[in-house]
Structure 1
Amino acid sequence: MDIDPRWFKRFGRTGPAEMRLLCFHYAGGNASVFRQWPRLLPWFIEPVAVQLPGRTDRFRETPYDRMDPLIDDLIEVVKPLLDKPFALYGVSMGSRVAWALAHALRERGMPMPRQLFVASSSPPSLADGRRDWDGRDESLIEFLRTMGGTPDEVLEHPELVAGLLPTLAADLSVVSTHTFRPRTPLDIPIHAFAGTHDPEATPEQMTGWRTETTARFDIDPVPGGHIFDDAGHRQVIRAIVDTWG
């Protein structure tokens, strides 16, 4: 079975690797946030970035606004990537997608990730159906500004921002409407990364990920806000390599 290039981006990494790191972007983002990871990770870890519908080369596709159909489709296309030891890393919404995928893999008796790495996301136990915006475009734009990750040159052009909003709203709905409560926690290590000045997922809130596994749990503070800068990404990558590699 071939790897679907719509869903998975390798950004030029074609050499041999001993393990894979599947990376999930934040709400309103895309796989390109991991574009530099192939050159930052050692040769034996191959990063593969997941590209969800509704953005960049998939902009003509309808974005998901619910978690269950997203995971049902993802579980089918991810199969070719599970032939090596792998881990999952998610940022914000991507953390919750990675967590839901891990549970789906376990439920279906498929290969399990060796580790789950989560960043900038409150734990599923705090999910209450609350939305991070009130349905107005102005509220979504303010969310983009507050969370970071969207270049200023984009925010300064209303037509570019307008193109982002439907996908962002759908992404946020994926998280806010997903209230899955597993009977049994995962049994794989979870390593969390929390921005020290993140208004959305504080380090204190992110300690709640501890209840999502019966295995080891670690949390690292990362200087900065919701979306990490280059130094933050390097800190995360060093921790991933030290912990799992």
Structure 2
Amino acid sequence: MRRRRALRHYGRPGAARVRLLCFHYAGGNAAMFRDWPDRLPPDVATVAVQLPGRDTRLDEPPHVRMGPLVEELLEVLDPLLDEPFACYGHSMGARVALALAHALRARASAGPRALFVASSAAPALRRRVRGWDEPDEGLIAYLRDLGGTPSIVLERPDLLELFLPALRADLTVVATSGAPVRPALDVPLRAFAGVDDREASVERMAAWREETTGPFALEAVSGGHFFDPAGVARVLDVIAATLTGPG
């Protein structure tokens, strides 16, 4: 039951030769990836993770620590990890994808073919996470600064009451996970930064280079923390070329 609620299989996985496991931003949900199969080649299957505390999992308490979150992921994703896969994480999702890759290596399990991270300052910078330990007003101010949250959500107390607990929990996961000292991964890592993103600028994402001994590339794309349509299109083009190209 939990696996069914935690995973969204978008597109037609039967035709795929590699799965793209997708991890949403803090306060977000799996629906941000629902259109990706229409813009990726058919041999890439989009599987989006839905964390507890939101949407169809609103009745489940959200995680507030990275360790238990990753343990759940190892459980629900286990049947999918026997075939080639890659990971994409946006903002908080980037840190989750990184933690999952390290957990798989610790278990001597096959890791991702590639790791794609977006809109997340590099862990090595140990930047303070805004909002997680502030009153609700501080969280709302943080959302306004990031952009991307519909104004109807920010202006309606009933919607905020549903949205803020998951957001606070997600930010707590990131704020308390730190950047433990551990050997770098050995997977290709592609990072994407929005040119107008003040939280995760190109400069703040450059240190993702330290997270792998494999190939690394950092690209600035159009938009802010959540990218604009052209920025998303560029990200998907890079993912497609990386996962379906020679080798």
Query: Normalization by structure 1: what TM-score?
Result: 0.95
Aligned pairs (5 A) from 1:32-181:
32-127=31-126, 130-133=128-131, 134-181=133-180
8 Å Cα contact 2:23-2:49 kept in structure 1: yes
- Alignment map for 1:218-237 (pairs within 5 Å): 218-237=217-236
Report the residue type matching 1:5 in the other structure: R
Please say if residues 3 and 81 of structure 1, whose CA atoms lie closer than 8 Å, have aligned partners that are also in contact: no
Partner residue, 2:8: 9
Q: CA deviation at 1:146?
A: 1.6
Determine if contact 2:193/2:220 at 8 Å carries over to the other structure.
yes
Deviation at 1:153, TM superposition (A): 2.4
1:156 Cα deviation after fit? 2.6
Alpha-carbon distance, 1:178 to partner? 0.4
Asked if the contact 2:11/2:46 (under 8 Å) is kept, the reply is no
Contact 1:102–1:113 under 8 Å retained in 2: yes
Q: Matched residues in 2 for 1:219 and 1:152: separation?
A: 31
Amino acid at match of 1:190: L
Q: Contact between 1:9 and 1:50, CA under 8 Å: does it hold in 2?
A: yes
Residue 12 (structure 1) shift:
4.7
Contact 1:196 1:202 in 2 (8 A): yes
Q: Deviations over 1:74-94 (max 9, x none)?
A: 111111111221100000000
RMSD: 1.5
Matched-pair contact (CA < 8 Å) for 2:130–2:142:
yes
Distance 2:20 2:159 in 1: 31
Give 2:130's aligned amino acid: D
Q: Which segment drifts farther, 131-140 or 202-211? A: 131-140
Deviation at 1:154, TM superposition (A): 2.0
Deviation at 1:51, TM superposition (A): 0.3
Q: What SS does the aligned partner of 1:102 have?
A: helix
For structure 1, which runs of at least 5 residues remain unmatched after alignment?
none
Runs of 4+ in 1 over 6 A off after TM superposition: none
Superposed CA deviations along residues 139-195 of structure 1, whole A, max 9, x for unmatched, are 111111221232222223221012111111100000000024242100001100001
Matched, 1:214 2:216: no
For residues 180 and 206 of structure 1, do their structure 2 counterparts lie closer, same or farther at Cα, with a shift above 3 Å needed? closer
Q: Match of 1:87, SS?
A: strand
Moved more, 74-83 or 59-68: 74-83
Deviation (angstroms), 1:112: 0.7
CA shift at 1:33, angstroms? 0.5
The alignment covers a number of residue pairs equal to 243
Give the distance between the partners of 2:183 and 2:63, measured in 1 at CA. Answer: 26
The 8 Å contact of residues 3 and 80 in structure 1, kept in 2 or not, is answered as no
Q: How does 1:187-202 map to 2 (within 5 A)?
A: 187-202=186-201
Cα distance in 2 for partners of 1:14, 1:115 equals 18
Which is further off, 173-182 or 94-103? 173-182
